[in-house]
């Protein structure tokens, strides 16, 4: 619960190298900090400001602008239900009601055991599989209340719901991306033709 | 049905490098690299490909606007979040190499040396699929230094967002990519091609747009332009959702089919064989159409004349049981929620619209609320506002563009659903106010989660 660990600092430096201007790494590094701690701490945001050549206030300003960044602890599993038009038309309200009663929390709340936080989400680009939800940004489409129960049950037992492994909140892509081989501010591509 | 951008959707391993190269993958790039950048640009112009993000700007023309000077960048907009739209996610998850190949063709044509793929933050699988594809493409020599032995080098950087619809606006996306709050930039300059990322010349293209490029280069732009009809050459993906039997993404020769073909034939018709009441024809920002418009072709010309747009290609179908107040409120809530807060008319006005519609839907509306809604709409978008014609009343369509008091389209987009629903179904709004309740509540579910 603090600054980036030595290992994550190395990852952070590799992220910064992907951009011609360090500040572009702000959002990726906030994701990294959220992966480390589950949410964003003041110390981590200060650390990021040093790495991206911005003030802590600028980093905080970015963090508070974007929906996915949480300045307070959330559950291990963030359950987000889309309630936009396409999902609403085919029953997302019932899915939200069912989750509120199954988890015994209101939208925005976290269960007492710290396992689940329930959210409503804006259109998740899964309208063909409506109604849909995400657990830590992994999709579950064509929902029924029975399926929702099975998903929750698997997560409570530490299993992968419907075979889909769900890492703890904060972890997005688990792929380590390549470091660019060209210097983005120098090439003159017209020279090759 | 013709399959161009969706050609690999039946292929289970299309997301792997092996699977992709087995089905002509990277041969478009190979061919492009054997041509001059000018010839690639000319071929794309000949294809008449128009951007698939929503605005429909001609891709070749956009590229030719790129200003002198280096460095210059290509940015691929994968921040798909327009309500009803779900095609780019499918393309990124299931054919990620095609996105990479198309973005490299773009970079080569406009002489850029770095591509940024901006993928929406909430799409973990798309990020992993495109990320793994990138790792493999680098290892295979398709990205990076001396691509396929051509002597040309280009990097592709994968970037993840963090949840903000306004990032879909291209200048907001650039701000976000620069590590800032996603505030749309004040225009002019109108085009990132003049001043874009880090104020350098930049081409911003949508995921579906770049995904179409490998096919165009392999088969020539002229061949691509033989598909489709009217002002809609080629194919495009239509996202159909809501009250249809077979919701999904369908690649169609747009100008050759009508909304009736799309909804009743391709998407199987209305669920439970109910009657159609209204449909969103091009994403949440598009004014609504109604049963009397079903025979319009999916062509920007006639659709535009009817007061709306094909936008992102998202058709949301609402049957006779749908409460128009509630459906419109749902979309208004979205745009209100997604206001970045820069412009007062959008930040405050969107919020007002949402609150007024919420109280009407929940039985607390006042008779004067209807004029108040229109008044607030005027503050965001003064003057005639686009809407469809109504055969029954003789109301004529009002086409785009609207005037706006905001920097970007998010504010006026909050007006769209309110204005469409109120123009056509004013009686339904009045009924809510008179009854002090929603007459449809039982049909669309009991809960309200504002």
pLDDT at B324 over 90: yes
B41, B160: one domain: yes
Q: Which residues of chain B make contact with A188, given a CB cutoff of 8 A?
A: 70
B152, B216: one domain: yes
Q: What ipTM was predicted for this assembly?
A: 0.95
The candidate with the shortest Cα–Cα distance to B97, out of B131, B56, B124, B62, is B131
pLDDT of residue A192: 36
Last residue of a domain, one of B292, B319, B346: B319
Alpha-carbon distance values, A144 to A72, A133, A147 (Å)? 31, 11, 5
Work out the average pLDDT over B245-262.
97
Residue B114 parent element (H or E): strand B114-119
Series of mean pLDDT values for 10-residue runs along chain A (193 residues): 92 95 97 98 98 98 98 98 98 97 98 98 98 98 98 97 97 94 58 36
- Chain B nearest CA to A73, separation (Å): 17
Contact criterion met (CB < 8 Å) for B86 and A83:
no
pLDDT of residue B448: 44
Interface residue of A53, A138, A173, A176 to substitute, partner B, most B CBs within 10 Å = A173
Interface residue of B74, B116, B179 to substitute, partner A, most A CBs within 10 Å = B179
Contact criterion met (CB < 8 Å) for B114 and A182:
yes
Looking at every residue in chain B, the average pLDDT score rounds to: 96
- Compute chain B's Rg from CA coordinates: 22
Last residue of a domain, one of B226, B249, B279: B226
> For B331, which residue in chain A has the nearest alpha carbon?
A85
> For B126, which residue in chain A has the nearest alpha carbon?
A173
pLDDT at B201 over 80: yes
Return the percentage of chain B with pLDDT > 90, whole number: 95
Looking at every residue in chain A, the average pLDDT score rounds to: 94
SS3 category, B44: helix
- Out of B37, B179, B322, the one facing A25 most closely (by C-beta) is B179
CB pairs under 8 A between A and B: 236
- Chain A nearest CA to B401, separation (Å): 25
Work out the average pLDDT over B224-245.
96
Work out the average pLDDT over B149-174.
97
For A15-41, write each residue's pLDDT tens digit: 999 999 999 999 999 999 999 999 999
The candidate with the shortest Cα–Cα distance to B268, out of B290, B300, B242, B303, is B242
- Chain A nearest CA to B304, separation (Å): 23
Contact criterion met (CB < 8 Å) for A122 and B81:
yes
Q: How many residues does chain B have?
A: 450
Q: Which residues of chain A make contact with B134, given a CB cutoff of 8 A?
A: 175, 177-178
- Residue B271 structural domain: 232-319
Domain count along chain B: 3
Work out the average pLDDT over B75-92.
98
> For B333, which residue in chain A has the nearest alpha carbon?
A84
For A74-97, letters b (16+ CB in 10 Å) and e give: bbbbbbbbbbbbbbbbbbbbbbbb
pLDDT of residue B440: 87
B23, B165: one domain: yes
Q: Is B393 exposed, middle or buried (0-12, 13-18, 19+ CB in 10 A)?
A: exposed
- pLDDT bin (cut points 50, 70, 90) of residue B399 is very high
- Out of B89, B162, B445, the one facing A66 most closely (by C-beta) is B162
User: Domain A6-65 classified CATH 1.10.10.1590?
Assistant: yes
Alpha-carbon distance values, A72 to A31, A108, A121, B444 (Å)? 14, 12, 18, 34
Last residue of a domain, one of B284, B319, B354: B319
pLDDT of residue B106: 98
Domain positions in chain A are: 6-65, 77-163
Contact criterion met (CB < 8 Å) for A68 and B121:
yes
In DSSP notation, B131-198 reads: HHHHHHHHHTTSSBSSGGGSS--BEEEEEE--S-GGGGSHHHHHHHHTTS--PPPPSSS--TTTS-GG
B152, B137: one domain: yes
Chain B residues 132-161 with CB within 8 Å of chain A: 132, 134-135, 138, 143-145, 150-155, 157-161
- Chain A nearest CA to B57, separation (Å): 22
For B275-299, write each residue's pLDDT tens digit: 999 999 999 999 999 999 999 999 9
pLDDT of residue B22: 98
Pick the CATH number of A77-163 from 3.40.50.280, 3.40.50.300, 3.40.30.10, 3.40.640.10: 3.40.30.10
């Amino acid at each position: 619960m603090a600054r980036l660990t030595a290992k994550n600092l190395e990852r952070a430096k590799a992220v910064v190298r992907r951009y011609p201007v360090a500040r572009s790494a702000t959002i990726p590094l906030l994701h990294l900090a959220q992966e480390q701690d589950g949410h964003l701490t003041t110390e981590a945001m200060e650390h990021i400001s040093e790495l991206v050549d911005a003030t802590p206030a600028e980093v905080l300003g970015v963090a508070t602008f974007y929906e996915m960044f949480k300045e307070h602890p959330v559950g291990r599993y963030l359950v987000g239900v889309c309630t936009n038009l396409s999902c609403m038309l085919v029953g997302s309200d019932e899915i939200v009601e069912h989750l509120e009663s199954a988890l015994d929390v209101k939208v925005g709340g976290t269960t007492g055991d710290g396992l689940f936080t329930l959210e409503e989400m804006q259109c998740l680009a899964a309208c063909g599989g409506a109604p849909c939800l995400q657990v830590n940004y992994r999709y579950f489409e064509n929902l029924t209340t029975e399926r929702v129960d099975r998903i929750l049950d698997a997560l409570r037992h530490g299993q992968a719901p419907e075979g889909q492994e769900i890492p703890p909140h904060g972890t997005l892509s688990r792929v380590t991306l390549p470091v660019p081989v060209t210097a983005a501010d120098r090439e003159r591509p017209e020279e090759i033709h | 049905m013709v399959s161009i951008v969706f050609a690999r959707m039946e292929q289970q391993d299309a997301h792997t490098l092996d699977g992709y190269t087995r089905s002509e993958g990277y041969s478009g790039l190979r061919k492009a690299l054997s041509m001059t950048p000018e010839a690639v640009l000319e071929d794309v112009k000949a294809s008449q490909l128009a951007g698939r993000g929503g605005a429909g700007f001609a891709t070749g023309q956009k590229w030719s606007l790129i200003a002198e000077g280096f460095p210059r960048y290509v940015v691929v907009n994968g921040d798909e979040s327009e309500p009803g739209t779900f095609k780019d996610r499918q393309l990124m998850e299931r054919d990620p190499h095609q996105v990479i190949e198309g973005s490299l063709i773009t970079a080569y044509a406009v002489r850029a040396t770095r591509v940024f793929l901006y993928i929406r933050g909430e799409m973990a699988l798309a990020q992993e699929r495109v990320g793994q594809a990138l790792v493999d493409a680098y290892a295979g020599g398709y990205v990076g230094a001396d691509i396929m032995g051509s002597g040309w080098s280009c990097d592709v950087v994968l970037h993840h967002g963090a949840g903000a619809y306004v990032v879909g606006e291209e200048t907001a996306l650039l701000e976000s990519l620069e590590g800032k709050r996603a505030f749309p930039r004040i225009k002019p300059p109108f085009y990132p091609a003049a001043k874009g990322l880090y104020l350098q010349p930049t081409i911003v293209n949508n995921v579906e747009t770049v995904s179409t490029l490998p096919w165009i280069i392999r088969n020539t732009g002229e061949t691509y332009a033989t598909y489709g009809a009217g002002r809609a050459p080629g194919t495009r993906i239509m996202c159909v959702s809501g009250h249809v039997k077979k919701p999904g993404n369908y690649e169609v020769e747009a100008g050759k089919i009508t909304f009736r073909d799309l909804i009743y034939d391709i998407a199987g018709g209305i669920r439970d064989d109910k009657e159609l009441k209204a449909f969103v024809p091009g994403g949440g920002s598009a004014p609504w159409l109604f049963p009397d418009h079903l025979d319009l072709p999916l062509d920007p010309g006639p659709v535009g004349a009817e007061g709306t747009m094909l936008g992102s290609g998202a058709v949301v179908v609402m049957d006779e049981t749908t409460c128009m107040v509630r459906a419109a409120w749902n979309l208004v809530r979205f745009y209100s929620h997604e206001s970045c807060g820069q412009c007062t008319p959008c930040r405050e006005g969107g919020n007002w619209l949402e609150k007024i519609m919420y109280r009407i839907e929940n039985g607390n509306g006042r008779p004067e609320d209807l004029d108040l809604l229109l008044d607030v709409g005027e503050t965001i978008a003064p003057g005639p506002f686009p809407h469809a014609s109504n055969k029954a009343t003789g109301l004529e369509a009002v086409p785009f563009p609207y005037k706006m008091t905001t920097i970007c389209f998010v504010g006026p987009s909050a007006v769209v659903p309110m204005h469409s629903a109120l123009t056509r179904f004013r009686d339904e709004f009045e009924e809510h106010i008179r009854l002090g309740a929603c007459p449809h509540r039982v049909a669309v579910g009991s809960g309200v989660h504002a």
